[in-house]
Structures are given as structure tokens and as C-alpha cells.
Amino acid sequence: MNIEPVRKNSLTDSVRHQIVDYIKNNEKNGIRKLPSENDLSKALGISRVTLRRALGQLESEGMIMRKHGQGTFVNEEALKVKVNLSEMIDFSDIIRRAGQKPSHEINLLCEKSADADMAQLLDVEQGEPLVEVEYALYAGKVQAIIARGYFPKRILGDIPSDEVWNAHSCFEILAQYGRTLVECDRVKLQAVSRQEMEEYLGHETKIMNQTVLQLSSVGFDQNVVPVIYGEAFFDTNIIQFDLYRIKK
């Protein structure tokens, strides 16, 4: 039983992927200039409008740069961004991006009723049954992330077995057992001491650093209805988040 996120491939999307492939294939050759928009649109058999939509998306991500009167170029500085904070990715992928091998274990899995704060964050009635789950994530053999999540129990039809929890992330379980995709989230950042983290969690951890980066996030489904609240603590000696920003 696998429910995959269904994303139709528009022409623009597939063009964008072709351009990304083109860039990756020519990375070694040192080719930093793309063909002109006219040439590219003819070569791809599409209108210039569609090509420009694809290029515009890549430009807003920072992957390419366009210079009026000169051409379109690969932006090598933006490509140096590894652990991109502005992308919504799994904890495991974050560790992979940091160049490490990810693994995880479940610290905690239980039911809890929503207190006032949680009820407001998740837009549910106070007392509504929530699932509380805590993961410890390792980069190689070192603990890099502690993540705790809360979401309404009713989203899950049946509570999966421990094996399932051990093999999948919260988001995968919400997708497969709750048919709920987290499409966007709002994140708050704080720097906290290891001691503050352990007081919040209520137990000791194997995080080595004395200071950690705390990300508090509310995840929403496609209708911007809150579905999950998470608190994650990162050892920034191991996970260094990056961002590439463009002035508007």
C-alpha cells in the first residue's frame, strides 16, 4: 500500500528538469553558458514563453542567472548551497545533504491529549487525542537531530505497527496511513542550550554540542489546514543549514 504524491508533469516542469540535466551534464566540461532562448526553445520544440517560465523558476531558485544582452549562465555560487533550509525535505535527506549516512530510532511513541497551546497550533479542540512521537537521527554514528512531532490521532485510520514507525518518517506515515500530504510549513528558528533542549524533552540526549538550533514548525496540507506540529533540535556542528537569497 503506497500512496505516492501525484504530481502531474506539466511541459514546463519537464523542460525545467531537462535544463537541470543539461547543467549537470555540462558541469564537468566547464560550460557555464546556456544556449540562447531562441535556440533552446527551437531545440526543445516548445514556445519561448514556456521555456522562459521554466528558466524563471530556475532563476528564482538561484540555479541560473540571466544577463540582458549577454545570455543565461549557471550560478555556481547558489549551487554551493548544500543543506538548503528553504527546501522542505526529510530529516534523513538533510543528513544526506550534509554528506553523512542517516539512520534513526524511535525514542517515544504515545498518545496525548491536546493542551491549550497545541490545540491552537493544530486548530483542534482542547483535549483532542494526539499522537506524540520522537525520533533521534544519526549522522553516521553521531546523534545529529532530535525531532518530536504531534498530530491528531484521527488523521491515522489505524495506528501502524512499531516496525512501520521504525522504517518511516512522520511525513511518510501521514501520507501512507493518513492520506495527508504536508504541502507547506511555517518554521521558527531559535538558538538554545543543550540544557534547555533536555529540559523541554524531559530526558538526556547524546547530542554532543552545548548549543543547538531549534526549529519549531507547523505543517499544513494542501488546504493550509494544520496537520502536524514539530520541534526539532539540530547539532549545527554536523548540520549546517544554508540559504541562497535574491533581492526582490
What are the b/e assignments for 95-130, b being 16+ CB within 10 Å? bbbbebebebeeeeeeeeebeeebbeebebeeeeeb
Spatial CB neighbours of 121, under 8 Å, sequence gap ≥ 6: 218, 226, 229
Establish if 201 lies at the interface with DNA (CB under 7 A).
no
CB of 96 to a second copy, least distance (A): 17
Binding to a second copy (CB under 8 A) within 47-66 occurs at 49, 60, 62, 65
- Give the residue with the Cβ less far from DNA, 38 or 237: 38
Which partner in DNA, a second copy, none is near 81 (CB below 5 to 8 A by kind)?
Answer: a second copy
Q: Which 3 state secondary structure label does DSSP give 44?
A: helix
d(CA 235, CA 240): 8
CB of 238 to DNA, least distance (A): 38
Binding to a second copy (CB under 8 A) within 137-166 occurs at none
Q: Which residue has the cell 538526556?
A: 204
Residue 15 C-alpha cell reads as: 523542460
- Give the residue with the Cβ less far from a second copy, 26 or 113: 26
Query: Which stretch of DSSP H or E encloses residue 174?
Result: helix 170-178
Half-sphere exposure of 44 (CA within 13 A, CB side): 25
d(CA 224, CA 227): 9
CB of 109 to a second copy, least distance (A): 25
Size of the site for DNA (CB under 7 A): 25
- Give the residue with the Cβ less far from a second copy, 77 or 204: 77
Establish if 218 lies at the interface with a second copy (CB under 8 A).
yes
CB of 185 to DNA, least distance (A): 20
Residues recorded for the chain: 248
Yes or no: say if 41 and 47 are a contact pair by the CB < 8 Å rule. Answer: yes
Which partner in a second copy, DNA, none is near 80 (CB below 5 to 8 A by kind)?
Answer: a second copy
Q: What is the DSSP string of 192-209?
A: EEHHHHHHHHTS------
Binding to a second copy (CB under 8 A) within 75-94 occurs at 75-78, 80-81, 85-88
Which partner in DNA, a second copy, none is near 122 (CB below 5 to 8 A by kind)?
Answer: none
Exactly one of 54, 213, 227, 228 binds a second copy (CB under 8 A); that residue is: 213
Give the interface segment with DNA, choosing from 49-57, 111-119, 202-210, 240-248 (CB under 7 A): 49-57
Contact set with DNA (CB under 7 A): 8, 10-12, 34, 36-39, 45-50, 52-53, 55, 66-72
